[in-house]
Amino acid sequence: MHILQMLPSLSLGGVERGTVDLTRGLIAKGHKVTVISSGGSLVEVLDRLGAKHYTLPIHKKSLGSILRCIPKVMQIIEDQNIDIVHARSRVPGWIGWRAAKKTQRVFLTTAHGYYSKSWGSNVMLWGKRVIAPSEGLAQYLMEHFGAKRSHLRVIPRGVDLQEFAFTPSNRTPKVWRFGMVSRLTRIKGHDVALKACAVLKQQGHPVELQIVGDPVESALKDSLKALSKKLGIEDSVRWKGVQQDIPHQIGQLDAVLVPSTYPESFGRGVIEAQAIGRPVIASKSGALEQLIDPERTGLLVPPGDADALAKAMLRMMQDKELRKTCIREGRQQVEAEWSLETMVERNLEVYREVLVPKVLIWKIGALGDVVLATPSLRAIRKQFPDSEISLVVGRQAYPAVARCPYVNHMIVVDPKGKDKSLKQKWKLAKRLKGEGFDISIDFQNNRLTHGLTFLADVRTRIGFKRKWGKLLNKPVRLPKEALSPVDHQAYLLNAVGIPLKSKKLELWPSEIEEERAEALLQRLGVDLDKPMVGLHPGGSARWKTKRWPLERWRALRDRLVGDGYQVIVFGGEEEVELAKSLCTSVGPDVFDAAGQTNLLELVCVMQRCAGIVCHDSLSLHAAASARTPVVALFGPTQAERHMPKVRQGAAIQKKVFCGPCYRSRCWTLSHACMQRIEVDEVMKSLEKWISA
């Protein structure tokens, strides 16, 4: 994979050195790394490691500078074929978030500080995952920014145990050299360290304070120098400036101070000192409390308390056993919890996790439409075997896919009922946005689904380019020729690299549906040792033009019974009277099951049939999923477009000058397309497939 890391600069500092360490580990494992910053002394180190660096002013907070950087970062993402954009600070976060969004890349962040609750800080919570270097910071992000626990990953920083080799000092110092290795900033507590040293000097203890890491001359440095002079210890302070060889600098010290006055998100200086074998005294604040076990791996003091710090420093000077314990236990703790190898592997786990897309599928149509989408669901699962896939489905159609093995979650909606209002639609969009979907595949393709997907901020939005297609960022042009529903979906999927190889329909009855179907047949008195043919004379009430004349159904029924078949008649609750007219005043081998099954129970009954005869209706899709031989009668609709893939069976359709018309009323009043289908040809076709 190719990772882009973005941070303000590459001067000396914990974030900067952590970026270099992660880069070293990723490249060692065969991955590519590109870094964007405003530059700094560590760029040369990145070059030696084999990373690519781009210098851009992504540290500047002006809106104009941010807007100018976004297209440049987008170009880098495209040119370098970046997989993941990883932002480590707020201004780079805004630039990286927008660039990743426009290029449809994964965006994640590492929060390195206890940010103030402000609009500008929110972007650090917009990554697909948010990495926090400590549990304390993760809790802060949840409490103050509303971050979800499932959205956060705690990855402590690591230290290279070879670079920071364990070299405990054996010398008995005449002058104790305490040191601070950090950026020169007020929150690091340099003034507290100076005051603590002054207290010890006044008590006659020989101490020296070495300050490593001030990047430039600054007003703060001038004020600290003035403070040391005022305290009378300027001769005991060593200003060492920027140093690249941090292990060597720590090795020159007898103990390390981390007297931060503001909560630390981690505390890199602590674990580096512990790795080398130097005792640490730190503030009891933020993540520092989690890094140090008092009396075992170091000492903790109240933040900002110079007297308490001085007492802890004196104790460390005088208590040899305490020093030995802190040195030994500190190193062991670093090896167990904070090695560079562990940090790199934890980051890789997050990278692998976010590269597995979270997929959203839209199919809110009628029950038959959802059944026709099952080949597409199967193809999507095959393309994304490890993904979490959610299906937005209508309430009435939900039972058909409730047990679908290709979908992890169902989002059931009722767009014409309780979810009709704008308030409910907005609520659904917010819910989907909170789920953090990466890919949306829209088989519904209407204004509602395009709009909701856009509002949900799904990274890649796939669908057909229709009137509202501008809300998609991966639109597909509509096919020029008319296609069947399954082929229509296949056209969309193939256009985005998802092959649909099998058009087989599927439904997934449970054991309960199997038992209910068995009980129904027993209740009706069906002889399970005698062949049975299922008939469905009905269909949509809106499409009565699809129906074969009732007298033909009666004639087919009689032919089947005469040839030794049992006949079972299917239908929904609205077709009970129609079925009754086909079952009344006939012999014992005709059974009326209309209104007595749901879709999945119907499939179970169909599986026990030798064959099925039906119209272009839901029962045709059910028969296809049951893998029972089926003869489908087509009239106003085109069989080539609507006949599903069946294991055995055929469509019967007559050529007429007026069809296929796709009309719910016959404008010629002759209903010729269905009238011309004869009982003999239906019977012959059925017997052919039953005996095949």
Residue range 115-153, pLDDT digits in tens: 888 888 999 999 999 999 988 899 999 999 999 999 999
Closest CA to 286 of 307, 310, 302: 302
Residue 350 included in any domain: no
Closest CA to 487 of 645, 350, 652: 645
- pLDDT value of position 481: 87
Q: Could you give the dihedral angle defined by the CA atoms of residues 119, 124, 125 and 129, in that order, rounded to the nearest 10 degrees?
A: 170
Residue 555 has pLDDT above 80, yes or no: yes
pLDDT over 70 for what percent of the chain?
Answer: 99
* Residue range 50-60: mean pLDDT, rounded: 96
When pLDDT is cut at 50, 70 and 90, the band that residue 186 belongs to is confident
* Residue range 9-20: mean pLDDT, rounded: 86
Please give the residue that has the higher pLDDT: either 321 or 692: 321
**Gap between the Cα atoms of 471 and 406, Å rounded:** 27
Residue 468 has pLDDT above 70, yes or no: no
pLDDT digit string, tens, across residues 431-461: 999 899 999 999 998 889 999 999 999 999 9
The answer, yes or no, to whether the previous bond of 660 is cis (omega within 30 of 0) is yes
**Gap between the Cα atoms of 383 and 362, Å rounded:** 17
Domain harbouring 575, CATH code: 3.40.50.2000
Which structural domain, as residue segments, surrounds residue 415? 356-495
C-alpha distances out from residue 688 to 212, 387, 565, 589, 682, Å: 90, 44, 15, 22, 10
* Lowest pLDDT segment from 10-19, 248-257, 287-296: 10-19
Residues in the chain: 692
Q: Quick check: 219 and 190 in contact, CB under 8 A? A: no
Task: Give me the sign of the Cα torsion angle 147, 151, 156, 160.
Answer: negative
- Tokens found for residue 500: 């649909």
Residue 35 has pLDDT above 90, yes or no: yes
Domain count, the chain: 4
Residue 216 has pLDDT above 70, yes or no: no
When pLDDT is cut at 50, 70 and 90, the band that residue 41 belongs to is confident
- pLDDT value of position 541: 79
* Residue range 412-426: mean pLDDT, rounded: 89
Task: Give me the sign of the Cα torsion angle 74, 77, 79, 81.
Answer: negative
Pairing of strands 460-464, 474-476: parallel
CB atoms within 10 A of CB 665: 12
Buried b (16+ CB within 10 A) or exposed e, 540-554: beebebbbbeeebbe
Closest CA to 629 of 690, 565, 576: 690
Backbone angles phi, psi at 279, to 5 degrees: -65, 150
- pLDDT value of position 290: 87
- pLDDT value of position 225: 92
- Write out 444-507 in H/E/C secondary structure: CCCHHHHHHHHHCCCCEEEEECCCCHHHCCEEECCCCCCCCHHHHHHHHHHHCCCCCCCCECCC
* Residue range 78-93: mean pLDDT, rounded: 96
Residue 330 included in any domain: yes
The domain boundary residue, chosen from 474, 495, 516: 495
Residue 295's contacts (CB-CB under 8 Å, 6 or more residues apart) are 322, 325
* Residue range 214-228: mean pLDDT, rounded: 81
The domain boundary residue, chosen from 87, 122, 154: 154
Residue 382 CA, distance from chain mean position: 17
pLDDT digit string, tens, across residues 477-497: 999 888 888 999 999 999 999
- pLDDT value of position 215: 58
Residue 681 has pLDDT above 90, yes or no: yes
Shared-domain flag, residues 678 and 546: yes
C-alpha distances out from residue 515 to 354, 510, 519, 522, 597, Å: 43, 9, 6, 11, 12
Residue 299 has pLDDT above 90, yes or no: yes
Q: Quick check: 400 and 507 in contact, CB under 8 A? A: yes
Q: Quick check: 155 and 133 in contact, CB under 8 A? A: yes
Please give the residue that has the higher pLDDT: either 610 or 216: 610
- pLDDT value of position 687: 93
Shared-domain flag, residues 588 and 686: yes
C-alpha distances out from residue 606 to 285, 541, 602, Å: 70, 22, 6
Residue 365 included in any domain: yes
Residue 602 included in any domain: yes
- pLDDT value of position 410: 95
Backbone angles phi, psi at 487, to 5 degrees: -65, -35
Residue 70 included in any domain: yes
- pLDDT value of position 363: 94
Shared-domain flag, residues 571 and 667: yes
Shared-domain flag, residues 539 and 394: no
- pLDDT value of position 284: 94
Please give the residue that has the higher pLDDT: either 154 or 219: 154
Shared-domain flag, residues 134 and 203: no
* Residue range 608-634: mean pLDDT, rounded: 94
When pLDDT is cut at 50, 70 and 90, the band that residue 287 belongs to is confident
Residue 280 has pLDDT above 70, yes or no: yes
Shared-domain flag, residues 251 and 326: yes
- Write out 567-626 in H/E/C secondary structure: EEECCCHHHHHHHHHHHCCCCCCEEECCCCCCHHHHHHHHCCCCEEEEECCHHHHHHHHH
Residue 506 included in any domain: no
When pLDDT is cut at 50, 70 and 90, the band that residue 220 belongs to is confident
- pLDDT value of position 263: 87
Buried b (16+ CB within 10 A) or exposed e, 465-483: ebebbebbbbbbeeeeeee
- pLDDT value of position 286: 85
pLDDT over 90 for what percent of the chain?
Answer: 75
Shared-domain flag, residues 206 and 124: no
When pLDDT is cut at 50, 70 and 90, the band that residue 467 belongs to is confident
- pLDDT value of position 217: 54
